[in-house]
């Protein structure tokens, strides 16, 4: 709920500040959030991340159609080039760019969702449960992709209920309980006991 509100999809319950590159940003819609440089890989990819009846190409370019269109007509050549670039770069296992999203494996679907948001060139990519419902091999590929994006200067905000994933992947861990901040740890001081204590509201 917090990140969906930050992304402008839910109304805020209280006042606060969102800063990107030190500048205050007020998110009133997802479209505005994208303009500020945010991307959101949602928790439920099948309901909110993909249009299952559309193909890989249509899903990847969905967020940037305006950039690919001239006089409201999408440049198919540019769309194909961009799609193939992401298929190759992220090793998206698909028979072709025209394969329907609903026929792909969970890990491949997740790569398509991530590609869709990376196409917008975000400054901050929010990833809500990025490895839920995918196999071990696909998880390793997603972890590698997240680390590569971070090494290249992109800020990644990851939400996960997998405690080992949180500790393994994060430079900084923030723990919430009942909508309130209960703890903040650097990776070298983060332990399962500390995180669970905060998550249960003990501290």
User: What is the rounded average pLDDT for all residues in the chain?
Assistant: 92
Task: Express each pLDDT in 69-104 by its tens digit.
Answer: 988 899 999 999 999 999 999 999 999 999 999 999
Task: Express each pLDDT in 30-68 by its tens digit.
Answer: 999 999 999 999 999 999 999 999 999 999 999 999 999
Q: For the residues 6-25, what does the mean pLDDT come to?
A: 85
pTM above 0.85, yes or no: yes
pLDDT at 48: 92
Task: Express each pLDDT in 129-168 by its tens digit.
Answer: 999 989 999 999 999 999 999 999 999 999 999 999 999 9
Asked which of 14-23, 102-111, 164-173, 184-193 is least confident by mean pLDDT, the reply is: 14-23
pLDDT at 61: 96
pLDDT at 28: 87
Direct distance between the N- and C-terminal alpha carbons of the chain, in angstroms, rounded to an integer = 22
pLDDT at 70: 87
pLDDT at 72: 86
pLDDT at 203: 65
pLDDT at 109: 96
pLDDT at 145: 93
């Amino acid at each position: 709920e917090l990140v969906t509100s930050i992304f402008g999809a839910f109304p805020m319950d209280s006042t606060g500040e969102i800063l990107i590159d030190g500048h205050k940003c007020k998110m009133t819609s997802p479209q505005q959030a994208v303009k500020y440089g945010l991307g959101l890989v949602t928790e439920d990819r099948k309901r909110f991340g993909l249009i299952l009846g559309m193909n890989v190409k249509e899903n990847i370019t969905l967020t940037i159609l305006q950039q690919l269109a001239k006089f409201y007509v999408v440049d198919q050549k540019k769309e194909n080039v961009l799609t193939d670039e992401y298929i190759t770069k992220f090793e998206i296992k698909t028979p072709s760019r025209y394969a329907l999203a609903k026929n792909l494996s969970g890990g491949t679907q997740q790569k398509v969702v991530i590609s869709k948001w990376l196409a917008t060139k975000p400054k901050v990519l929010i990833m809500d449960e990025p490895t839920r419902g995918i196999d071990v091999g696909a998880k390793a590929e997603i972890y590698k992709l997240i680390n590569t994006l971070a090494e290249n200067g992109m800020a990644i905000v990851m939400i996960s209920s997998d405690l080992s994933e949180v500790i393994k992947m994060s430079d900084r861990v923030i723990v919430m309980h009942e909508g309130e901040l209960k703890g903040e740890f650097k990776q070298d001081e983060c332990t399962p006991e500390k995180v669970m204590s905060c998550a249960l509201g003990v501290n």
